[in-house]
Structure 1
């Protein structure tokens, strides 16, 4: 007996015409001969810290530049800059008196970020903002604390009340916030600009995840929610669950912005969010189809010794079915072979749990 379904959506001919058995490429390092295709048909340019970038343009040779150890600095608006080092990115805003940093990064990237800021302005960092309590995005906070002490600057460390509470609850060893705002649409006034916390009531990535919106600049920072110009990294950027992922994307979409920083990936735009919505629709359709096609009975055998093996083998087979189904349409995008099987398992788990 095959796994039961409440309903099966009509499958689009574009997605499934090639059939699940075709295009069986399983090398996770696979790269098309012509290179990965832009998910949004973007134009590319070298990073430029002096000239604002258009919303439909992205940074060229992103993987190669990161692997070479470059620190990429791109001016987004007159006062907002995007910085990436070793696949992690942050934003900073240059005010009249000081600089506000959105996530200090980690693993040494914080020092690269501080150096990039100094190349743009001689103003000190006066506000450091945490988007959420994950050390890979805020682990180098001490770099900025030490620099503020050296410069004799009063540094504000800002977070939502949810992040501050979580850091306290988990006894975080990182520098604690000195000021908090409401997780749900709290606004912080930094000099003459507003920073709004877009907290997710039910967050997919982690429970204190918030998007940070520079209201007056039209720039939003959404760490680990979307990797612009790429498929999501592994299990949707390390999301702790998939259940509310689309709701989180919808909340970001409802805000007023032109540029998006995902914490990873390229510089984003509305087109990147649209691509993600289409991809998730196709992923869900493929998952429904795989659930209907993958027979539980095939794996519930005495030879498998325990029922954990039943589940592991069923998930593996269904995930491979999903990956094969999506490959004709998405296999030429960055990270497909490594990431889609993991995303498939998360979606399957959600579909099994909530019907």
Structure 2
């Protein structure tokens, strides 16, 4: 029996339609004091530079296409992003995003008419790789279908969960391995102990100095809700440090702006501050706070109520330093709850 098909909420945002926003609502300030540039298909960003007005561009335009290097391009639409590399004979595409295969193909054709000869799955989450079949259908007249490359961990997970998405035709050894595309070495750096999901990994385009690791962090923002949909917080800091230690100039995180090492420094500082604020609140808020035990007949309300108050206090304590940044109000309480669970569990 096939599973029912579900669409990610975020994949539906601006995937097929665009919206208008108030022109006088300013963009949130940069978390890393970045220099902003208008997007360009021809002019590469310097390392550390970012695309200006990215929130408005995601709302009001079909997609954003930015040249990173001579051969690597960064794509985003509806707050979902990926990269592609134009080789001598073909195109290497990472993560055919759900509901965006037509726009991704259109953006590639703005740059080159070369065939898409390889696809890489960064990890087995349908919102990032769910557009693969539609893309394959759109390029079926190519002389040859593209290679579909994934880590062995991703291939095993797709098999275990009976994925309905096109399966990899090639696998890379886990947690570390590499493959060659048209003279470009691409390295897999898998997180043996991963926060986001068990097959989460970072892919390094060695000669291009570009790192692609969707859902590791959203550049130019505080951590997104539930740390970008992570299944656990426990290993996130070590994953960030592992990726930051690699040799790259441009970071593609699947969401947020084009990233730099400064974004990793910001995230690690923010997480450290939030951990300290959560720990302080846990010491101040007694278990059972806010619950009238004379009106309940089950204790299950007590833990989430305790966590919610801890998260509220931690969020308030960080607001003076971080409250002006993108998505702080929405994301921080949920992230604080994840940290509270972590601190409560591991002592």
| TM-score past 0.5 threshold | yes
Quick one: higher RCO (CA 8 Å, sep 6+), 1 or 2? 1
1:112 aligns with 2:103: yes
Shift, 1:349, TM fit? 0.3
1:140 aligns with 2:131: yes
Which residue does the alignment assign to 2:335?
343
1:180 to 157, 167, 171: 171
Which residue does the alignment assign to 2:208?
217
Which residue does the alignment assign to 1:274?
265
1:94 to 86, 92, 96: 86
Which residue does the alignment assign to 1:84?
76
Shift, 1:48, TM fit? 0.2
CA distance in 2 between partners of 1:185 and 1:344 (Å): 32
Q: Secondary structure of the residue that 1:53 maps to in structure 2? A: coil
Which residue does the alignment assign to 1:256?
247
CA distance in 1 between partners of 2:289 and 2:60 (Å): 47
Which residue does the alignment assign to 1:332?
324
1:318 aligns with 2:310: yes
> How many residues in Structure 1 have an aligned counterpart in Structure 2?
323
Give TM-score, length-normalised by structure 2: 0.91
Shift, 1:143, TM fit? 2.5
CA distance in 2 between partners of 1:208 and 1:182 (Å): 12
Shift, 1:134, TM fit? 0.2
CA distance in 1 between partners of 2:43 and 2:289 (Å): 59
List aligned pairs for 1:19-168, cutoff 5 A. 35-106=27-98, 108-168=99-159
Q: Secondary structure of the residue that 1:298 maps to in structure 2? A: coil
User: For the structure 1 residues 102 and 34, does the alpha-carbon distance in structure 2 shift closer, same or farther, using more than 3 Å as the test?
Assistant: closer
User: For the structure 1 residues 34 and 95, does the alpha-carbon distance in structure 2 shift closer, same or farther, using more than 3 Å as the test?
Assistant: closer
Q: Secondary structure of the residue that 1:101 maps to in structure 2? A: strand
Shift, 1:149, TM fit? 1.9
CA distance in 1 between partners of 2:134 and 2:143 (Å): 14
1:227 to 214, 218, 243: 218
Which residue does the alignment assign to 1:354?
346
Residues 128, 158 of structure 1: 8 Å contact kept = yes
User: For the structure 1 residues 33 and 112, does the alpha-carbon distance in structure 2 shift closer, same or farther, using more than 3 Å as the test?
Assistant: closer
1:171 to 162, 179, 198: 162
Structure 1 unaligned segments of length 5 or more: list them: 1-31
CA RMSD of aligned residues (A): 1.4
CA distance in 1 between partners of 2:201 and 2:289 (Å): 43
User: For the structure 1 residues 90 and 297, does the alpha-carbon distance in structure 2 shift closer, same or farther, using more than 3 Å as the test?
Assistant: closer
